Amino acid sequence: MGSTADKAKGLKDQAVGNIKQGVGKVTGNDKLRAEGVVQEKKGQVEKAVGDTKDAVKKATK
């Protein structure tokens, strides 16, 4: 996966994770809230991977 795709997927997962957390909090659904936290963290990692790939590309030019 390219750096742009990693970053886009990461941002999407962060957004969906935040939504799940909000819905879980409002509805009192702890499982959904926990899923949201996990998905948000996954998105942060994916975005960091994309950022790292960009940095490596720039450093090797």
Chain centroid to Cα 30, Å, comes to 20
SS3 percent helix, strand, coil of the chain, rounded to 5, is 90, 0, 10
Q: What is the DSSP letter of 28?
A: T
Confidence of residue 22 (pLDDT cuts 50, 70, 90): very high
Report how far residue 6's alpha carbon sits from residue 61's, in angstroms, rounded to the nearest whole number: 21
User: For 31-60, how does the pLDDT look when each residue is reduced to its tens digit (9 = 90+)?
Assistant: 999 999 999 999 999 999 999 999 999 999
Q: What pTM value is reported for the model?
A: 0.86
| Overall average pLDDT of the 6-21 stretch | 97
